[in-house]
Amino acid sequence: MNVKSKQTEEKLNGVFYTPFEIVDFLTSWITDKQQIFNVLEPSAGDGRFVKQIVELANKANVTAVEIDPLECEKIKAIDNTKVINDDFYNFYEEIKDIGIKYDAVIGNPPYIRYQFLSEEQRNYQSDILKRNGMKPNKLINSWVAFTVASIELLNLSGKFAFVLPTDLLQVSYAKELRKFIFKELKEVTIIRFDDIVFSGIQQDVVLVFGIKRDKENQKTLIRNIGLKDMSQLSHKVDGTPFECYDFDNSDKWRKFLLSKNFMEFYENKFINETMSIKDISTIEVGITTGNNKVFVVDNERINKYSLDDYKVPLVGRSLDVSGLYYTENDILHNSLNCRKVWLLDFNNRKLNRGAKKYIKEVESRDEHKGYKLGLREKWYEVPSIWIPDAFLLRRMGNFPKIVKNEIKATSTDTFHRIRFNEGIDVAKTLVSFYSSVALLSFELEGRVFGGGALEILPGDLKNIRLPKINDGIDFIEISKKIDEKLRANHEFTEIVKWVDSLIQPLSGFNKSEINEIYDVWNSLRRNRVE
């Protein structure tokens, strides 16, 4: 739970100062090859972008917008600079309709979550997005509206250069922003770094810069560049060619990190030889109890209140399961380690003395007054308790995790719950999840967080692809061996290679294609976690 009073000032204001290497690179690009006269820095901070622009382009006049009055005082000392001590949203509202445009916009916009914005800021953000044909929602971070408004304020052929979170490449709430950028810019360069470049935060960033469209019906030229760190900026970018892409603008930009040839292979043969997980199953998020401390319990609490009649086996954490199967032995092992392996299900049940006592004690501690609990007719009855065929870990580290449900367990929302359609070969499907084909799909469709965690949200699941595989091997036996290898902590990449070797002859991919899929998957994975 994010409590505003507990957040750092940096989080609330979205302030993270840009390293000089990035400032120098982006300002050099802005001032290169064409004369610029009017530059906007919509979130000027301590003025490091402003100072560098003025030094590199002596004829440039910079408008610096900054909400912090102390930072404004620093910027006022810079020549050829007009300082606006105000929220950028206010500034935008004042000039949006009077024809003021800029030759360049540059900066590192604030990263402020929706819940930390003031009501006025939320309204301004909503208006900016609606004005440009986008739908606002409560997931959208402030940097999205900043980006849209900044591009809107550019002259034709004007230059845009922002430092943005890697969320731009993949998250669903940035989908419309990606479409907007392709609509508005005729050239786009995306630079990502293997290393974290902002000290003190775990948010990966990308550099996005380009030139505003000056004609209708221009195709967007793209180049995507991967660098180890900032030291490579000066000599790894110059000379990298642009490529013309013809693609669905709604796709996640993470695919642009693929080579053009592989991207074409992915969009054609890869899609044809795979199927969506949604074609063979129903998937829902795990249970949201409203208060896991009350409903997710260990054996000690079960015994103390005589709650055996109400307990349902539970997968609550990734740590709870190490193999491909969730079994009675897993429950026993987790119980012996004092883990919380049971969900309390009081739904439409007659309550015994122990259950009544337990509920009364929870109420005496006011632990039943949460928002979700307050919406229920009976706060202690948790909805949507159903038993899936398998579980899919929602947020993963190195690798995705699919788990076969062997003991009629359910799960918290740490996992997605999967129910396979009638007639589906479950063992074959489980094996296919551990192929590089499926794993590549996870890497491309998931949302990457700072530190390398990969999250699959419900809306992403329809795009997860599994290889189409013919019969020909004993998939039950293969799935058991995968389980054994996982529990024995075999190197995961070796498990994947082994699975690939077994399914390749039964799939529509040749050996060379499977090897390339493996290499691309492993490269994306390493870039994410290492």
The three-state DSSP-derived secondary structure of 3-24 is CHHHCCHHHHHCCCCCCHHHHH
Q: What is the pLDDT of residue 94?
A: 93
In which residue are the tokens 């050099």 written?
A: 28
Using CB atoms within 10 A of its CB, is residue 112 exposed (0-12), middle (13-18) or buried (19+)?
Answer: buried
**In contact, 179 and 248? CB cutoff 8 Å:** no
Regarding whether 161 and 28 lie in a shared domain, the answer is yes
Measured in whole angstroms, the distance separating CA 269 from the mean position of its chain's CA atoms is 26
End of a domain among 156, 184, 212? Answer: 184
Q: Residue 252 and residue 481: Cα distance in Å, rounded? A: 35
**DSSP assignment letter at 421:** P
- DSSP E strands in 27-140: the ranges are 38-41, 61-66, 81-85, 102-107
Provide the residue range defining the domain that includes 264: 260-280+421-530
End of a domain among 184, 207, 235? Answer: 184
Q: What is the pLDDT of residue 13?
A: 46
Q: Residue 386 and residue 417: Cα distance in Å, rounded? A: 9
Beta bridge partners of 165: 205
**In contact, 23 and 52? CB cutoff 8 Å:** yes
What are 443-460's pLDDT values in tens digits? Answer: 988 877 656 788 888 888
171's CB contacts (< 8 A; 6+ apart) are 447
Regarding whether 265 and 147 lie in a shared domain, the answer is no
Phi, psi angle pair for 334, to nearest 5°:
-65, -35
- pTM over 0.75? The answer is no
Parallel, antiparallel or unpaired: strands 311-315 and 342-344: antiparallel
Regarding whether 147 and 27 lie in a shared domain, the answer is yes
End of a domain among 167, 184, 201? Answer: 184
**In contact, 55 and 72? CB cutoff 8 Å:** no
Tell me if 60 is assigned to some domain: yes
Q: What is the pLDDT of residue 199?
A: 63
Tell me if 469 is assigned to some domain: yes
| pLDDT tens by residue, the chain, 530 residues | 232 333 334 434 445 678 889 999 999 999 987 888 999 999 999 999 999 999 998 889 999 999 999 999 999 999 999 999 999 999 999 999 998 999 999 999 988 888 888 899 999 999 999 999 988 888 788 999 999 999 999 999 999 999 998 888 877 678 889 889 988 999 999 998 877 777 655 567 889 999 999 887 778 888 888 787 888 887 667 778 888 765 554 456 777 667 778 888 998 899 999 999 999 999 999 999 999 999 999 999 999 999 999 999 999 999 999 999 999 999 999 999 999 999 999 999 999 999 999 999 999 999 999 888 999 999 999 999 999 999 999 998 888 899 999 999 999 999 999 999 999 999 999 999 999 999 999 998 887 765 678 888 888 888 899 999 999 999 999 999 999 999 999 999 999 999 999 999 999 999 999 999 999 999 888 877 76
**In contact, 291 and 367? CB cutoff 8 Å:** yes
**In contact, 262 and 520? CB cutoff 8 Å:** yes
Regarding whether 169 and 267 lie in a shared domain, the answer is no
Regarding whether 266 and 174 lie in a shared domain, the answer is no
The DSSP annotation for 250-289 comes to TS-GGGGGS-HHHHHHIIIIIHHTEEEGGGTEEEEE-B--
Cα–Cα distances in angstroms (integers) from residue 70 to residues 14, 62, 76, 106, 406, in the given order = 16, 19, 10, 21, 61
Domain count, the chain: 2
Q: Residue 140 and residue 163: Cα distance in Å, rounded? A: 17
Neighbours of 47 (CB within 10 A): 24
Regarding whether 268 and 155 lie in a shared domain, the answer is no
Q: Residue 426 and residue 424: Cα distance in Å, rounded? A: 6
Using CB atoms within 10 A of its CB, is residue 511 exposed (0-12), middle (13-18) or buried (19+)?
Answer: exposed
Regarding whether 31 and 145 lie in a shared domain, the answer is yes
Q: Which two tokens stand for residue 290?
A: 């409203």
